[in-house]
Structure 1
Amino acid sequence: MLRVIIVFGLLAVIGGIATWRPDLAEKAYHQAQALIGQGGTQQAAAPQGQQARRPAGPPPVSVTLGRAERRTMPIEVEAVGTVQPIAALQIKSRLDTQVAQVHVAEGASVKEGDLLFTLDDRVLKAQLAQIEAQILRTKAQLEQAVRDRDRAIDLARRNVGTEVARDNAISNVKAVEAQLASDEANRNSIATQLSYTLIRAPVSGRIGSITSKPGAFVRSADVAAMTTINQIDPIYIAFAVPQTTFFEMRAMVQDDPTRIQVEARAGSRTATGSIAFVENQVDLTTGTVTAKALMQNGSEQLWPGAFVPVKVTLGSQQDAVVVPVMALQVGQNGPYVFTVKDGRAAVAQVKVSRTMGDVAVISEGLSGGEQVITSGQLRIANGVAVTERAAGTAEAPAARDPQS
């Protein structure tokens, strides 16, 4: 570039000299031509030397490598489950009356049979006393009817009384006995209604919000519940099982349900249990089957309605081929990995059975022992030369063209 500037400067000077010294201008012109020829020769020679130093092919791509291994792997199904109470009972009044007392606090843990509410029972107690008095009167009438019947039978046997009187006396006894039975049935009905004024916990669990406070009027036709009790120990976790795994799991459930271990993690704790229920059909939209696990929940780490990760262990697979998950790539023909042999990359189509954490179980495509590329795949193609770099180091930049 400097030589070109000098040449153009000389030409400008020549133009000025030519006006008063033509002989000097011609001499300067010939010197400028010599400089131009010398620069062109050097510029033409430079690319030829650089081309001689250019390497024959692209440099190897720097990648990190892993290895396909054979090991014993557990057969596990991972899913997201929903915690469901075994029983969610709505507590409602069976009478039209007032709430007299509330014996529990909202959110309290209750045991089966604990008293929750007391309803106003004064009207029912009065009705019960009334029917008790009616029963006493009917019993007295029955005693008198029995005496009249016996007397009429004796008189008829001695031909003193008539048969009509005897039959009337017998019928009267039966009528009074029927009245007594009706009175006793009414008493039992009122006693049963009176028992509804004491509302007790039907199951052990945890109580929810209490909507009916003391003094509130409740009806048997009310839609809203006075409160709700969720049975949470033990508790269910519902989750979806892929159809491909369902048949194996179902066979194990039929043989021995305790063989299938279910783990659910909630916070820092892990709850364990076993399969308790499998749905009777496959969901056509998702291709999964709903299953429920019965989990022990004494510490109440599982809460109804929560979403928790679930891991179901069905058994173990011996001599399984595994590769790091980072080695898996997805193409038009499905998943594949890059293997390395003699310093060059090669594409291997694989079939993934399942993934577990940071490894993938390969059912087809690898036999174990192959080196696989775990990072740097974006610059790799089939047959590209590669070089290994230490894991955790930065990827080497691509080689620059000397002409750029």
Structure 2
Amino acid sequence: MASQSSRRNPVLIGLAVLVLAAVVWFAIGPLKRMVAPRSAAPPAPAVSVTSAQVKREDVPIGLAGVGTVQAMATVTVKPRVDGQLDRVGFVEGQDVKAGQLLAQIDPRTFQAQLQQAMAQKSRDEAQLANARLDLQRYEGLIKENATTQQTLDTQRAQVAQLAAAVKTDEALVNVARVQLDYTTITAPLSGRVGARLVDPGNIVHAADANGLVVIRQVDPIDVVFTLPDGEFQRINRAIQASGTPLAVEASERASGQLLGQGKLILLNNTIDTTSGTIQLKGRFPNPSHTLWPGQYVNARLVLGARDQALTIPAAAVQRGQTGTYVYVVQADHTVASRPIEVAEIQDAKAVVAKGLAANERVVVDGQYKLKPGTRVNETTATTTVADAGAAHASAPAAGAPAPRAGNARP
């Protein structure tokens, strides 16, 4: 029995060791897998964005409003005498010069009236000459007591009467000559003519309401616009400080393209209490006719300039719950969200008061794909604000739309 027991003990001990080793193996295996270092995840791909450099430049300070283009002067050309319209001397839609022939009315009736008035004047002048000779005779005879004083006085009265008649005839001749001149209708000013309102062959009258044609002076041309009445003091101070007329810019409403630069000629003498606005008028040279009567434009009154201000494209400015911010491209090609203070936004350009430094780069397009720390790839980087704005305008679907220009105070 003792020998059998001694033979079974090593077997049992061996089995126990195997069981214990198996238990340890299965217990330590998962633990090793838990503490074993995981393989590194592949880095996220870089996001393609458009960026622009923060630029330092002189920026004009201005106020923007919506304006209407008006002709500097508008004249409805009407006949001043009645008669048949013989011919017109203009082509519809052409430019005319002051004094240019526009129309001719049949002059024959007025020529006859002038000749009649001149004949009447000649007859009265002859009678006046004869009466003066008789007066000289009577003055000689009275000295010799060969005539009476009454006869002399009567002759003097007749001379005065005939002299007055001659003056009346002169006036009638002048009236007839003016009436004849009215048959030739000339342009009272230089400008662009519109559609012809009466065709040759028609009888025209001085009382006609429509006239023959309308002339509008389009070079120079005016833009009338309004600004909030709360800006009156700023405008008034700028006018007093400048000493010269303030500059006014007109741009196309849809594209923002600059159409002309002019001068302020009117700050109206009253504020419209119904709309809370004040009316202003700018005058623009318009040789290329980029401004046209009746056109709606964006008008901007330039009050001064910011010297060496920091500017970025307006499309780079983002708005969040805490205010405005931009994505700044860092040296390691990642982006950081940075709060900024915007002084003014105009003409797709933002003036930054705080938060940025010159030559830093900000994201103009593609912000919706970014968060702080995102790696970026600047595919169409620009070096100037103008270039950045142009790139953004040419590809509006690539990112968020640019904020509209406002009237933020500097």
TM > 0.5 between the two?
A: yes
Compute the displacement of 1:197 (Å): 0.3
Given the superposition, is the C-alpha separation of residues 233 and 144 from structure 1 closer, same or farther in structure 2, using an over 3 Å criterion? same
Q: How many Å separate the matches in 2 of 1:312 and 1:295?
A: 16
1:137 aligns with 2:128: no
Q: 1:389 aligns with which of 356, 372, 376?
A: 376
Q: How does 1:123-162 map to 2 (within 5 A)?
A: 123-162=109-148
Given the superposition, is the C-alpha separation of residues 387 and 286 from structure 1 closer, same or farther in structure 2, using an over 3 Å criterion? farther
User: Identity over aligned residues, as a percent?
Assistant: 31
Compute the displacement of 1:85 (Å): 2.3
1:76-125 CA distance string (max 9 Å, x none): 54665543322221100111222122222222222221111111222222
RMSD of aligned C-alpha atoms?
4.5
Give the gaps of 5 or more residues in structure 2.
1-29, 39-43, 381-397, 400-410
1:279 aligns with 2:267: yes
The secondary structure found in structure 2 opposite 1:279 is strand
The count of corresponding residues between Structure 1 and Structure 2 is 335
Q: How does 1:123-202 map to 2 (within 5 A)?
A: 123-202=109-188
The secondary structure found in structure 1 opposite 2:268 is coil
Q: Which residue of 2 aligns with 1:208?
A: 194
Q: How many Å separate the matches in 1 of 2:241 and 2:247?
A: 7
Contact residue 353 and residue 360 of structure 1 kept, 8 A:
yes
Q: How many Å separate the matches in 2 of 1:90 and 1:372?
A: 56
Q: 1:318 aligns with which of 297, 307, 319?
A: 307
The secondary structure found in structure 2 opposite 1:221 is coil
Compute the displacement of 1:293 (Å): 2.8
Q: How many Å separate the matches in 2 of 1:203 and 1:374?
A: 50
Q: Which residue of 1 aligns with 2:60?
A: 75
Compute the displacement of 1:362 (Å): 2.5
Given the superposition, is the C-alpha separation of residues 278 and 121 from structure 1 closer, same or farther in structure 2, using an over 3 Å criterion? same
Contact residue 64 and residue 388 of structure 1 kept, 8 A:
no
The secondary structure found in structure 2 opposite 1:280 is strand
Q: How many Å separate the matches in 2 of 1:338 and 1:377?
A: 7
Contact residue 351 and residue 363 of structure 1 kept, 8 A:
yes
Given the superposition, is the C-alpha separation of residues 264 and 190 from structure 1 closer, same or farther in structure 2, using an over 3 Å criterion? same
1:306 aligns with 2:295: yes
Q: How many Å separate the matches in 1 of 2:283 and 2:327?
A: 40
Q: How many Å separate the matches in 2 of 1:333 and 1:169?
A: 106
Contact residue 314 and residue 345 of structure 2 kept, 8 A:
no
The secondary structure found in structure 2 opposite 1:199 is strand
Compute the displacement of 1:277 (Å): 0.9
Given the superposition, is the C-alpha separation of residues 140 and 234 from structure 1 closer, same or farther in structure 2, using an over 3 Å criterion? same
1:110 aligns with 2:99: no
1:292 aligns with 2:282: yes
> Please, what TM-score do these two structures have when normalized by structure 1?
0.66
1:361 aligns with 2:351: yes
Contact residue 121 and residue 166 of structure 2 kept, 8 A:
yes
Given the superposition, is the C-alpha separation of residues 117 and 260 from structure 1 closer, same or farther in structure 2, using an over 3 Å criterion? same
Letter in 1 for 2:310: V
